[in-house]
Every structure is written in C-alpha cells, then in structure tokens.
Amino acid sequence: MLRNKRHRHLYGSRCRNSEQHYPIATRVHRILGVALGFGTVVGCETRPADVPSCAIVADHVGDLFGGTAHDAFARETRDVFAARCTEDRWTDEARSCVVATDALTDPRGCKQHLTAAQVDALDRALAQAEDREQARTIPAVCARYEAVVAIVGRCASFPAAAREDLAQKLAAFKATWAATPDKRTLEPICASAIGAVKLAAAGCPGAAKW
C-alpha cells in the first residue's frame, strides 16, 4: 500500500510553480511526472550552497516512499535515483526539484530538468524496480482465495470434513508462497482454486458472488 509522507523542504528556497496535476499511473512516476506529463516550474532561485547532492536526493525519495528500513521497493527506488543521478550527472535544477517535492501526490514536473537520455535511463531503471516489486507481491486473487476459504469454513451446509480439507490445503499452499521467487506465478493457481471451491460449495449462501 502506498504510504504518502509529506516532507519538509531540506533547503531554504522554494520554487513557485504553475504545474498541472495529472493522475500519474504508478508510485514511482509521481516523483518526476514521467507517466503522463509534467508541469512548468518558474521563479526558482537556488543558491549554490542549497543544491542537494545525489545522496540527499535519493534519501529524500526513499522518505517519500515511506522510508527504506522495512520496504524493499522504497530501497530499490532510492538506489535507482542515487545511481541515475550520479552516473547521469543530473543538473542542480533537477536535484533541487526532486528534493522540493513534498509528496508523491504532488509532483513538481522535475522531468523537464532532465535530458531525453536521462529520462530514458531513469524510466528503464524504475520499470525494472517495479517489475521486481510485482514479483515480490502476493497477488490480490490469492487474498481473495483465502477469504473464500474462510467463508466456506463458516458454511454449515458444507460438510465439516470438506471444510477442514480446504483449510489444510490452503495452509499447505500458503507455506510455499514465501519461497516462490516470482509471486505472479501464484495468480492462476489461486484463480483456479477459487473456481473449484465455488463449484464444490455452490450450496453455501452467497457462493455465486465469490
């Protein structure tokens, strides 16, 4: 779940902006507004002493994602920004713009301060991080499978032995989830399991809506 965290500006000056706000598609792309577009930042004066380093930029991004202590996605996103900022030599304007971003829901159009090549490199690295995050995340359909088994467990018209069997099979299946490298492979299995349970427990109240 996305944990938006409004962050205080680390440096003195703040840009006035006439930025349009767009419904950015992904968590990562909210920082630079690279998914659907970006606004215009004007009237910004930055003193040399105020320009943040790439390390500060990366840590700020990690904080915007809720902190990196217990969130692998936040850590990877921070590392992406650190690497691309350093290796691609982001300008003072680009670094200052990212640090001036208060929240993921309020992008400042920082993409305009990057070259096309820099944007492409960042996009590719962020896409790889998102792909790894999806591979780590248990699919929503598997949570639904758990919920369906729980509902059947309370269905008096379904044989007690069959309810127990379903619960045991779910427990055994869940025990494999942590060791599954790509959690996306669980999705079709969970979907199929829901279909089988619905057929077996068709007589339970509300089964048609599962």
User: Which of 113, 136, 159 marks a domain boundary?
Assistant: 136
Say if residue 115 is in the same domain as residue 188. Answer: no
Please give the helix or strand (H or E) that residue 42 lies within, else none.
Answer: strand 41-42
7 in any annotated domain = no
Distances in whole angstroms, Cα of residue 171 to Cα of each of 28, 165, 166, 187: 34, 10, 9, 16
| Model pLDDT, residue 28 | 56
Domain that holds residue 35: 16-136
- C-alpha of 190 from chain center: 22
pTM score: 0.62
Give residue-wise pLDDT tens across range 17-71. 333 333 333 555 555 554 333 443 444 444 455 899 999 999 999 999 888 777 8
Q: How many domains does the chain have?
A: 2
How confident is the chain (210 residues) per 10-residue block, as mean pLDDT? 32 35 44 43 49 95 85 92 97 95 87 95 95 91 94 92 94 94 94 92 79
